[in-house]
Chain A
Amino acid sequence: MKKMKKIVALGLAATLTVASITGCGNKSGADANTFVIGGIGPLTGDAASYGISVKQGAEIAVKEINDAGGVKVGDKSIKLELKFEDDQAAPDKAVTAYNSLMDNGMNALLGCVTTGSCLSVVDLAKEDGILMITPSGSAADITKNDNVFRLCFTDPLQGETMAAHMITDLGYKKVAVIYKNSDEYSTGVYEAFAAKVEELGGTITTAEAFADGEDFNTQLTSIKGTDAEAIFAPIYYTDAAHIVTQAADLSITLPFFGSDGWDGILDTVTDKSTAEGATFLSPFFSGDPTAADFVAKYQEEYDATPDQFAADGYDVVYVFKAALEKAASTDSEALISSMTQISVDGLTGTGISFTAAGEPQKGAKFLTIKDGAYAAAE
């Protein structure tokens, strides 16, 4: 029996050794003709819809590019490869995912999808010196390092855009806000929104905060007690789904406005009529004629309609392609410096360019929920 144990132990040790050797092998063995794009985003958990969309959108772009012969870098053409890791939108898991991708030969990072995760890896990416482009992480601080760029709008810009839309375009005077004060994204949008509303002569009747959980009855009842004409909720779709459901239960009929986190709400609410009429910022609309080709491919591949996150993921891959072509090299430093010189026609805007501060330059679009489906806002 003792002998048996020894043999088993030896066997285990041998397997481990082999495993660690092959592990190292993968790292150095990245093919020179392949450019590995690492992706990080939630594929499970509360925010799963975002990560899955980004991943699938990016996969379509990678396939398109590779099928067309790859990316022309200098005088040779290289293939793209996407490796995507799940972080469940948790900052600590994002760090694990980042390290595992680096071990697997990542050349550039597409990610992270959520703000908190982005913030937890920006300094690691800076140390490694790789190009990082977040499709959807919107906190201002994410792009503080020179190697980080973003495709979506920043939180403050979203807040200001929505304030201008509600006060100037739609003529609302009194707005109530419900936001998540334990979340940087939500607080960031809210603060800029409140400042802009005031600047434009509107009033915030009440700003109701929540930290966690799924009960919003108290906050909604408080909003009901004010003379607000509309509700602005800069939050993610899971919370938004709870809020519209409970608002309907409390017979609140005020129109809802949201940030880009609302995208995905229609698959989460149990009764789509509760979200009817809600308007939110979104850089992409699947009904847009220019997106028809992408939408068709996406539907064929994944049997789902792409949302803005899918479009973000898709566009980021094309930004990598443009940067690779401009730099004529796969060297991270060259890629980073070519970022400010490119202009990409993507799904989320035409002529998308990037400032040295890492911010995108493109126009804003609004989506509204009409007859239980997303539609372009008037």
Chain B
Amino acid sequence: MGILQNILEQVINGLRSGSIYALIALGYTMVYGIAKMINFAHGDIIMVGAYALYVGITLLHLPIVAAVLFSIAVCTILGVVIERVAYKPLRSAPPLAVLITAIGVSFLLQSLSLLIFGATPIPQASIVTFEGIKIGGVSISGITIVTLIVTTICMIVLTWFIHKTKMGSAMRAVSEDKGAAELMGIDVNKTISLTFAIGSALAAIAGILYVCQYQSLRPTLGAMPGIKAFVAAVLGGIGSVPGAMLGGVILGLIESLSKAYISTELSDAIVFGILVLVLLVKPSGLLGKIRKEKV
């Protein structure tokens, strides 16, 4: 096989993991944009989504479509409930308190799944069964195609939703200025709930794609993708929706190419090194806006 095909395949690998990072990063960035908090439990929602799929298919024997919807519904409800129970009472508390609470929720979710499902990894077959394709010597697996299509659709729908619908406008307004939005008659609580619901639904989709890719479930499976996606969100400019998409894809590409052509041991160092560089040059991230402190 030629070097060119090999590079192309590595780029596709990077795009696939990058698009999953982007999907998760959207959850971080939307919540940050609106609630001004880093939801560190977001990575564990992915884990819940993955386990919910397993419960739906293997334990409840649901058809695939129903199991996918079940997984998304579980995560959406969970996201809204977490916001209501854990974050809403702290809305006027110092940011540090909210951050610690988010970390607490993250551990709670991990420990719960450890108690329920145990620490031994559970095998779960992929729900994507069709064969990959081969174009000009470059083979692309079925799951890669599905991942790229699903993530692209999610991003298009989300962009349309934010810019073309009333609810989307409300979200943008709350993110711009919560007080003013409230004065204009926007239901801030409802908007924040909606944001958590959308972010968690996207995390569920990421969890499902994750299971299809790796076919194994662990209570800590959300931790690493969660951290990477958080980096992607910061890289792209936290609070910015296109920034999260761009950040995710860039992160995936850098990771894959540096693993392939520089060093597997150094790839994480390179990823985080680039983050540091970008933040030094442009502290608000690639597409982030600099917020002026109002007096």
Interface residues of A (CB under 8 A from B): 44-46, 48, 88, 181, 208-211, 213-215, 217-219, 221-222, 224-225, 238, 241-242, 245, 249-251, 267-271
Task: Say how far A234's CB is from chain B's closest CB, in angstroms.
Answer: 16
B16, B124, B139, B141: which contacts A270 (Cβ < 8 A)?
B124
Specify the chain B residue showing the minimal Cβ separation from A49.
Answer: B120
Which residues from chain B contact A214 at a C-beta distance below 8 Å?
214, 216
| CB pair B1 A224 closer than 8 Å | yes
Q: Which residues of A contact B120 (CB under 8 A)?
A: 44-46, 48
A221 touches B118 (CB 8 A): no
**17 chain-A/chain-B pairs, Cβ below 8 angstroms:** A44-B118, A44-B119, A46-B119, A46-B121, A48-B120, A181-B265, A215-B213, A218-B10, A218-B256, A224-B1, A241-B215, A242-B214, A250-B141, A267-B123, A269-B215, A270-B124, A270-B125
Return chain A residues, CB-CB under 8 Å to B6.
Answer: 221-222, 224-225
Alpha-carbon separation in the docked complex, A251 to B138 (Å): 10
Instruction: Tell me how many residues of B have a C-beta within 8 Å of chain A.
Output: 35
Instruction: Find the A residue at minimum CB distance from B268.
Output: A211
Assembled-state Cα–Cα distance A217/B140 (Å): 11
Instruction: Give the A-B pair count, Cβ closer than 8 A.
Output: 89
CA distance A83 to B119 in the complex (A): 22
Chain B: residues with CB nearer than 8 A to chain A? 1, 3, 5-6, 9-10, 13, 16-17, 118-121, 123-126, 132, 134, 139, 141-144, 213-216, 218, 224, 256, 259-260, 264-265
Contact call B259/A211, Cβ cutoff below 8 A:
no
Q: Which B residues are in CB contact (< 8 Å) with A238?
A: 121, 216
Chain B, residue nearest A252 (CB) = B139
* Distance A210 CA – B265 CA, assembled complex (angstroms): 7
Q: Is the CB of B260 within 8 A of A270?
A: no
Residues of B with C-beta under 8 A to A46: 119-121, 218
Q: Is the CB of B17 within 8 A of A215?
A: yes
For B132, list chain A residues within 8 Å (CB).
249, 251
A249 touching B142, Cβ below 8 Å: yes
Are B265 and A211 in contact, with the CB atoms below 8 A?
yes
Inter-chain CA distance A157–B172, complex, in Å, is 64
Contact (Cβ within 8 A) B216 A271: no
In the bound complex, do residue A211 and residue B264 qualify as a contact, i.e. CB atoms below 8 Å apart? yes
B171 to chain A, nearest CB (A): 33
A-B contact sample (16 more), CB < 8 A, given A213-B224, A224-B6: A45-B119, A211-B264, A215-B214, A218-B13, A218-B259, A224-B9, A242-B214, A242-B215, A245-B215, A249-B141, A249-B144, A250-B9, A267-B123, A269-B123, A270-B124, A270-B215
Check B3–A225 contact: CB distance below 8 A: yes
Contacts of B215 in A (CB 8 A): 241-242, 245, 269-270
Kindly list chain A residues whose C-beta atoms are within 8 Å of the C-beta of B218: 46
Point out the residues of chain A lying under 8 angstroms from B214, CB to CB.
214-215, 242, 245
| Complex CA distance for A158 and B142, rounded to whole angstroms | 36
Q: In the assembled complex, which residues on chain A have CB atoms less than 8 Å from the CB atom of B17?
A: 215, 217
- Which of A45, A221, A241, A251 is within 8 Å of B216, CB to CB? A241
A211 to B263 alpha-carbon distance, docked (Å)? 11
> A48, A181, A208, A221: which has the most chain B beta carbons within 10 Å?
A221
Contact A270 B126 (CB under 8 A): yes
In the complex, A242→B214 CA distance in Å? 6
Complex Cα distance A48/B126, Å? 23
Q: A217-B13, A249-B141, A270-B215 are in contact. Are A222 and B260 (CB under 8 A)?
A: yes
- Residues of chain A within 8 A of B125, CB atoms compared: 270-271
A209 to B120, CA, bound (A): 24
Q: Does A88 lie within 8 Å of B119, measured CB to CB? A: yes
